Amino acid sequence: MRGQVLDALRAALIDGELVPGEIYSGPALGERFGVSATPVREAMQQLALEGAVECLPNRGFRVLSRSPRELAELAEVRALLEVPVMLRLARSVPADAWEALRPAAAATAEAAAAGDLPGYAETDRDFHRAVLRLAGNDQLVQVAEELHRRAQWPLPGAPRVRRADLVADAAEHSALLEALIARDLPVVESLVREHFAGSPG
Query: Tell me, what's the pLDDT at 110?
Result: 97
CA distance 163 to 33: 27
pLDDT averaged per 10 residues, the chain (length 201): 86 88 91 90 91 90 89 91 94 96 97 93 95 96 92 75 90 95 94 77 54
Burial of 169 (0-12, 13-18, 19+ CB in 10 A): buried
Query: Tell me, what's the pLDDT at 15?
Result: 86
Query: Tell me, what's the pLDDT at 200?
Result: 59
Number of domains in the chain: 2
> What ranges in 36-162 are assigned the alpha helix state H?
37-49, 68-92, 95-99, 102-113, 117-133, 138-152
Residues 169, 73 share a domain:
yes
Structural domain containing residue 181: 68-198
Residues 117, 45 share a domain:
no
Query: Tell me, what's the pLDDT at 67?
Result: 86
CB atoms within 10 A of CB 71: 20
Residues 173, 109 share a domain:
yes
Query: Tell me, what's the pLDDT at 201?
Result: 54
Residues 99, 53 share a domain:
no
